[in-house]
Amino acid sequence: MPIRAHLNHCKLIVLSAAPDFLVFEGSGNWTGNRRAEQMTVTNDRALFDFHAAWMREVLE
């Protein structure tokens, strides 16, 4: 999947690099604010496929 951007409020990155299927999910707005934020990194093919499918639908 190419790199694309879309107006949304999701904080998600999906990255596949065999044999890994990484999903980064977080609360941060990715700005220079000094607030505590959280991020979860998961290596799970089913979760990757779920997010990649709706992202393709929105971005294509």
> What is the domain count for the chain?
1
d(CA 20, CA 22): 6
3-state DSSP assignment of residue 47: helix
Gyration radius (Cα) of the chain, Å: 12
Residue 6 lies in a domain: no
DSSP state letters, 14-42: EEEETTEEEEEEE----SS------EEEE
β-pairing verdict for 39-43 and 20-26: antiparallel
29 located within any domain:
yes
Answer with the residue of higher pLDDT: 3 or 36.
36
pLDDT for res 1: 56
Summarised one tens digit per residue, pLDDT across range 6-59 is: 677 778 889 999 999 999 998 877 677 788 888 999 999 999 999 999 988 887
Which pLDDT value is given to residue 36?
A: 82
pLDDT at res. 60:
78
Paired tokens of 3:
């790199």
Q: Domain span at residue 41?
A: 12-58
pTM for this one? Answer: 0.75
